């Protein structure tokens, strides 16, 4: 697996902080406080995207990292809207560069797969950005395993490669275990796993009546609305209490424990909300604890049509 490092040469922290809330539910002051808390905890990997909070996320992150650029690894994403054609990639990437105040961005993700644009056009655009010294590494987010492998073949023909993927992964969203995580391990691709808290479902708090995404965003309500997920979350909170670990801490530690996961992406709206996730960097699960936690949720079926033999 590729060893991603900051420009200064430090290895990436075991946790990545996602700045999706910067400039949105977290104002500039709250965002700065979370950034400082992350740095105090040793986090040096920060993730944003062109579409987050209308550009405010990138703009604030660019301001925060100015005095320690070489010690920070910055990832952003393009092509969530507008397609993955070369014109859209180059235009939105230029926006991101200006907002982040960076000549070179460490990691550029394609935010999602675009079936309407030739993969060769997409990766030629990324390869040219890399050759020009404008990006260091290439990643893809929200891709299926077959899409990653297809794109990797095209990327290699262009003289580059996909270094890391960004799938959704938590105790209540384990589909990545079927093909994405084994594929990443086999092909030496890093994994930055997002939403390890299940959009707050695994925090042990009432996230349905508060101001979180489960209560305010219909997409998240549908994503985590299955009854078994709620039962898993309740049982998980009870187990966390028994283990004397905050549920959020345990949820992040569980996601980090998978051998294919390079780093979970944590996020929050405030420093108080962030602290339990940061604490996961100091939790090491035993095999027994990991198995006990895993048994609380549904293990996805393996990628075979011979399930009776699995």
Catalytically active residues, by annotation: 52
Do residues 34 and 51 make contact, with C-beta atoms less than 8 angstroms apart?
no
CA distance 84 to 113: 8
Question: What would the two tokens of residue 64 be?
Answer: 């925060």
How many CA within 13 A on the CB side of residue 165? 29
Dihedral sign from CA coordinates of 235, 240, 241, 246: negative
Report DSSP letters for 74-128, one per residue: EEEEE-SSS-S-HHHHHHHHHHHHHHHT-SSEEEEEE-S--TTS-HHHHHHHHHH
What lies within 8 Å, CB to CB, of 242 at 6+ separation is: none
Indicate left, alpha or beta for 140 from its phi (over 0: left) and psi (-120 to 50: alpha). beta
CB neighbourhood size of 2 (10 A): 13
Q: How far apart are alpha carbons 68 and 57 in whole angstroms? A: 18
Burial class (CB in 10 A: 0-12, 13-18, 19+), 83: middle
- Residue owning tokens 């905890």: 41
């Amino acid at each position: 697996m590729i060893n991603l490092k900051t420009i200064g040469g430090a290895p990436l922290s075991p946790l990545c902080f996602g700045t999706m809330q910067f400039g949105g539910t977290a104002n500039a002051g709250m965002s700065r406080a979370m950034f400082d808390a992350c740095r105090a905890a040793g986090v040096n990997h920060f993730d944003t995207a062109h579409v987050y909070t209308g550009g405010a996320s990138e703009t604030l992150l660019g301001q925060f990292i100015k005095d320690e650029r070489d010690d920070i690894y910055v990832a952003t994403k393009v092509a969530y809207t507008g397609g993955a054609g070369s014109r859209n990639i180059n235009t939105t990437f230029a926006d991101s560069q200006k907002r982040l105040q960076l000549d070179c961005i460490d990691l550029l993700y394609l935010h999602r797969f675009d079936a309407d644009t030739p993969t060769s056009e997409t990766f030629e655009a990324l390869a040219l950005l890399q050759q020009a010294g404008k990006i260091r590494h290439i990643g893809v987010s929200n891709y299926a395993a077959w899409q990653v492998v297809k794109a990797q073949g095209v990327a290699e023909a262009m003289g580059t490669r996909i270094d890391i993927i960004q799938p959704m992964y938590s105790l209540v969203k384990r589909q990545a275990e079927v093909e994405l995580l084994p594929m990443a391990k086999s092909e030496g691709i890093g994994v930055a796993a997002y939403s390890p808290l299940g959009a707050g479902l695994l925090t042990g708090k009432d996230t349905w009546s508060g101001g979180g995404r489960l209560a305010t965003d219909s997409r998240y309500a549908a994503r985590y609305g299955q009854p078994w997920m709620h039962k898993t979350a309740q049982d998980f909170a009870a187990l966390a209490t028994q283990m004397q670990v905050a549920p959020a801490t345990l949820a992040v530690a569980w996601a980090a424990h998978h051998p294919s996961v390079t780093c979970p992406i944590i996020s929050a709206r405030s420093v108080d909300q962030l602290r339990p996730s940061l604490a996961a960097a100091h939790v090491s699960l035993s095999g027994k604890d990991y198995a006990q936690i895993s048994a609380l949720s549904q293990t996805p079926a393996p990628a075979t049509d011979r399930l009776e033999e699995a």
